[in-house]
Structure 1
Amino acid sequence: MRLEGLHAVVTGGGSGIGAAIAQALANEGARLTLVGRRRDALEATAAGLAGAVVAQADVTDRAAVDRAFAWARDTHGPISILVNNAGIAPSAPFAKVTADAWRETMAVNLDALFHCCQAALPDLLEAPAGRIVTVASTAGVKGYGYTAPYVASKHGAIGLMRALATEFATTGLTANAVCPGFTDTDIVGDAIANIQAKTGRSAEDARAQLTRFNPQKRLIEPSEVAEAVLWLCLPASRSVTGQAVMVAGGEVM
């Protein structure tokens, strides 16, 4: 129980990678607060985790984040670990990306990191081994077509982690990003459905179009991403900061 008694806040913890991360942290003894917009999904995840609680909030809304984190702190004590997992991945040709779609992607994938990191920062700096781990993407270190807002936001997410790692290097706080390749989640399921709708391809062909990026020719499992996040949260990982850790089956960056 390497995280026994530590309070971890996980955003977007209701499904997919976020739910797998919550399980991995709970297995090591962390007290969990799951933050997100979909209360039903968050509560379903929390129900299987001893002592986990739910704080419903839109992470793009700073006032809502501040309220949620204050409630989490009152419930489970100071925050030692922040996992920024909430995200969206819209797809469209760049020429057809609207200003609203661009702004929404930045709000969820980048602005929310600013809000959550600042809201947790006082606690994280007081913790013996404060941890920020952001779930970014291979899209944060390379380009993919038809996902310009997503790619830009994930580059920004990694940049923010590197900035925080440098600024707080002399403290006990580390900041890192985990960068999954295409992972077997609802977001990838939506991407497969989108490819089918636009190209007429079968689900199998659409899935193959995504797995071709992975030399192992498969989708990453959420549990694999969760194990990388867990490792970065451990006290023994104190020398690992400012990194973008790839979980992508050997995909060339």
Structure 2
Amino acid sequence: MPGLPHSSHALVTGGGRGIGRAIASQLTRAGATVTVLGRNRAALNEAIAAGCAHFAAVADVADQAAVSAAVAEAAARQPIDILIANAGAAESAPFGKSDAALFRRMMDVNFMGAVHVVQAVLPGMKARRYGRIVAIASTAGLKGYAYVSAYSAAKHAVVGLVRSLALELASTGVTVNAVCPGFTDTDLVAGSIETIMKKTGRSHAQAVAELAAHNPQGRLVTPEEVADSVLWLCGEGASAITGQAIAVAGGEL
């Protein structure tokens, strides 16, 4: 298992379920103290009860003031060394039916949510001259998919942010990377499967197969596979890895 700096404190947004919970669990097993942040207190408490994390912070990542307050509370307990900006949401619609409100929702959660939490933790990381920032983007941040133009645009923005920040912070001891999963077996993708079934009349198996077909391995990625990549980027051996957007997608890209 990749080595983490002694007594690291990791903050994982969207850490109550799916990829975020899997990442929190991996970091916990690797020896980090983990705080999970999200909107759903019950889901966060369940993650703690399951041994996936140690502390919870409740905030909507789209709300900058709430994020700042939650991060300050977590950092007061122990300085934050690792940030996993994982919280996200996906909505699908044809571009012609994607109004400004839909684009704002996707940008607010997926992009500005990452901006808010990075801005909250970065001063402390720079002062200590050490930090690991990993944004969970998507293959939609590296290519296009039909009917998710707003989501794809927001994830492209996340990848651009990562690449720019990595250069800006290269001499500070803080690395910034993105992990870009393909279609992953999570609640978020389950929602996409339900949408496909409702709109096309396909069966559950057919809808899953439609998404899995994007992956040359012919399957959905698992949250644990994404978490393994994140854990490596957080380790001491990844200090020269920064500004990267790593696809976890079975060869799709």
How high is the TM-score relative to the length of structure 2? 0.97
Say which SS state the counterpart of residue 40 (structure 1) adopts. helix
- Alpha-carbon distance, 1:48 to partner: 2.3
Partner amino acid, structure 1, of 2:198: A
Structure 1 residues 131 and 110, CA gap change in structure 2 (3 angstroms): same
Q: Deviations over 1:140-194 (max 9, x none)?
A: 0100000001100000000001111000111100000000000000011010100
The equivalent of 2:15 in structure 1 is 13
Q: Where do residues 229-248 of structure 1 align in structure 2 (5 Å cutoff)?
A: 229-248=230-249
Structure 1 residues 90 and 50, CA gap change in structure 2 (3 angstroms): closer
Q: Where do residues 89-238 of structure 1 align in structure 2 (5 Å cutoff)?
A: 89-127=90-128, 129-238=130-239
Return the alpha-carbon distance in structure 1 between the equivalents of residues 126 and 93 of structure 2: 40
Q: Where do residues 62-77 of structure 1 align in structure 2 (5 Å cutoff)?
A: 62-75=64-77, 77=78
- Alpha-carbon distance, 1:2 to partner: 2.9
- Alpha-carbon distance, 1:4 to partner: 3.4
CA RMSD of the aligned region, Å? Answer: 1.1
1:46·1:52 contact (CA, 8 Å) conserved in 2? yes
- Alpha-carbon distance, 1:64 to partner: 0.2
Structure 2 gap ranges (5+): none
Structure 1 gap ranges (5+): none
Structure 1 residues 92 and 51, CA gap change in structure 2 (3 angstroms): closer
1:129·1:235 contact (CA, 8 Å) conserved in 2? no
Q: Deviations over 1:77-132 (max 9, x none)?
A: 11100000000010010100121111011000001111111100012213453010
Say which SS state the counterpart of residue 178 (structure 1) adopts. strand
Structure 1 residues 209 and 36, CA gap change in structure 2 (3 angstroms): same
Return the alpha-carbon distance in structure 2 between the equivalents of residues 231 and 126 of structure 1: 24
Alignment of 1:80 onto 2:76: no
- Alpha-carbon distance, 1:51 to partner: 6.4
Alignment of 1:29 onto 2:31: yes
- Alpha-carbon distance, 1:8 to partner: 0.4
1:183·1:221 contact (CA, 8 Å) conserved in 2? yes
2:4·2:234 contact (CA, 8 Å) conserved in 1? no
Say which SS state the counterpart of residue 11 (structure 2) adopts. strand
- Alpha-carbon distance, 1:207 to partner: 0.7
Partner amino acid, structure 2, of 1:62: Q
How high is the TM-score relative to the length of structure 1? 0.97
- Alpha-carbon distance, 1:50 to partner: 7.2
2:81·2:131 contact (CA, 8 Å) conserved in 1? yes
1:214·1:248 contact (CA, 8 Å) conserved in 2? yes
Return the alpha-carbon distance in structure 2 between the equivalents of residues 225 and 157 of structure 1: 17
- Alpha-carbon distance, 1:202 to partner: 0.4
Q: Where in structure 1 do 4 or more consecutive aligned residues deviate above 2 Å?
A: 1-4, 48-51, 126-129
Say which SS state the counterpart of residue 245 (structure 1) adopts. strand
